[in-house]
Structure 1
């Protein structure tokens, strides 16, 4: 009996051993193939081209978002310019054109770059929302370049519509002037000082609104953020934008103004008392003031007083209190 039982036991044990060895070999083979695949993917990620693509992604997104924004906005301006028979309705459409352009620009770039689309907003986010200062010049350059390209595309779309309007003669001002559809000019009866104040106040309100809409400790718009910011710009255009044409964005003005110089000449920089500096400098000033006012006075659970000498900063606070 013993001699008959022993071989069966050995055979059974041998089969188990054989299966376990096969399982280990299969597992080892799978692990080796996964390691090779991971190493291959890592090698691809470490290539120079891919590193450049990853580095450039947010700036290209900012460029494309700004180009879309300015293309639609300048298109709305040009529509307002050539539709002289119903100026009131055209002004309303102009405001919505810029607002919808901003909505689409944010949808295009928001998930990659944050879609600031405005150097003044970029400065505010660098100062109070943790955007690294080393990235600021790249973002601003992308925004100016996007605005320039967006204005070129808008002109290409409207060139033939402008021909019967101005008789094939591009003019900066006057009844047949159309350069203001690109770079903003204040109304003829408004001086540069009053225009600076108007642009600074408007930009300050824009930045306060954007900070409030995106503040997780306040009343954030969350998934409807693009809509909220777009309608914010439309509301500012309809309420206080008339005196200067509501630039509120250095890139949105200077980029298209540089594009307009191709067809209208260098006079676009000196027209209306060298007005060019106003829509560039005023938004920066208004942005700094607006962002500072929001951070100082709209605390919104940003800090909770524990006792007379200590503070507890909230988790999502953009500033730290010690």
Structure 2
């Protein structure tokens, strides 16, 4: 997921991307509303092919690290929810907050460099509607999946010794001692794949709709509070409609950890619950596009309406003056 104030900024600014890393062309912080970091105080890079390569890969490494941080904290929250709580149902709020704060931190880490989409569904939506170059989309996808995979590995490493007494050294996917759901999502046993697909699509659609609104400079942007707003958005979605499927809303967040879980839980993590793996991948991708399209089609900001009204008024005045 999807998520800074200008998610496609780094990739779409063209030559201005380079100016943030070379001496003498650093932007003036006073000209960047809502930003508090003094870019001019950062060490400059000399103009070499190595520096240019670092600039080229910077957004993808940022996306990788941001997603790894997000998934590490989220999977850690899941493991705490499953393993270390005597009443797991009462820990649902803490679990949702863990994922929301993890997303917030991931956006803080990567937002100024990659835009911190941290979600292939969000990246696809920004490519379709907000100007992210399509040629960069596969690189974002790969960075997000790789970051999610590494974040899940780190979460498992942190909790391995806690899992041992919980399941008696026998890793299980489901049941009273199942813990694979801490990594890849699985719908509740009473939820079919069709209903789960709908739930994931609706949740991701709301997520992308919210991200578009929060980052729309012509609407009511969160600006410097964007990471907090997006983290709370995910927490709110988790608490409101996330229970049936465990709220993936993010193909990378599910598939990356699921691949990591296969190391300990076996290949059954891909076929369990009626080959459920496709649901948290296809559902979010479809829902994200629908949410983005709905925002772009139906939400017209007040500023845009005012500017349109001014242009209409000026054209009317011009036509009147010509007639006179």
Tell me if TM exceeds 0.5: yes
Other structure's SS at 1:294 match: helix
Between stretches 194-203 and 295-304, larger displacement belongs to 295-304
Return the TM-score normalized by structure 2: 0.80
Question: Who is 2:210 aligned against?
Answer: 209
- 1:103-132 per-position Cα deviation (integer Å, ceiling 9, x unaligned): 000000001000000000001111111111
Distance 1:47 1:293 in 2: 44
Superposition pairs of residues 126-275 of structure 1, within 5 angstroms: 126-275=127-276
Give the SS at the match of 2:86.
helix
How big is the shift at 1:45? 3.7
Gaps of 5+ in 2: 1-22, 25-44, 316-324
What's the CA shift string for 1:60-79, capped at 9, x where partnerless?
00000000000000000000
Q: Provide structure 1 residue ranges, at least 5 long, that are not aligned to the other structure.
A: 1-36, 39-43, 311-322
Trace 1:15-34 onto structure 2 (pairs within 5 A): none
Q: Report how far residue 86 of structure 1 moved.
A: 1.8
Partner of 1:251: helix, strand, or coil?
A: helix
1:294 and 2:306 matched: no
Partner of residue 19, structure 2: none
What are the equivalent positions in structure 2 for 1:105-116 lying under 5 Å apart? 105-116=106-117
Residues 26-69 of structure 1 show CA distances to partners (whole Å, capped at 9, x for unaligned) of xxxxxxxxxxx99xxxxx74422212111111100000000000
* Residues in 2 aligned to 1:104 and 1:288: alpha-carbon distance in whole angstroms: 25
Mapping of 1:33-182 within 5 angstroms?
A: 45-182=46-183
Looking at structure 2, the residues matched to 254 and 276 of structure 1 have their Cα atoms a distance apart, in angstroms, of: 8
**In structure 2, C-alpha distance between the alignment counterparts of 1:98 and 1:252, rounded to whole Å:** 11
Counterpart secondary structure, 1:85: coil
Aligned partners of 1:48, 1:171: CA distance in 2, in Å? 49
1:85 Cα deviation from its structure 2 partner: 1.5
Question: Is the radius of gyration larger for structure 1 or structure 2?
Answer: 1
Following superposition, the deviation at residue 307 of structure 1 comes to: 5.2
More helix by share: 1
Q: What's the CA shift for 1:83?
A: 3.1
Separation in 1 of the partners of 2:298 and 2:275?
Answer: 36
Give the alignment's TM-score, normalised by structure 1. Answer: 0.81
Q: Does the Cα contact within 8 Å between 1:74 and 1:182 map onto a contact in 2?
A: yes
Tell me the C-alpha RMSD between the 2 structures: 1.7
Q: Is the 8 A contact 1:45 1:51 kept in 2?
A: no
Task: State the distance in 2 between where 1:235 and 1:244 align.
Answer: 15
Do 1:83 and 1:90's aligned partners in 2 also have CA atoms closer than 8 Å?
A: no
Q: Deviations over 1:137-167 (max 9, x none)?
A: 1111100000000000000000000001100
Per-residue CA distance 1:162-182 (angstroms, 9 max, x = gap): 001100000011111000000
Aligned length: 268
Structure 1 CA distance for aligned equivalents of residues 161 and 93 of structure 2: 24
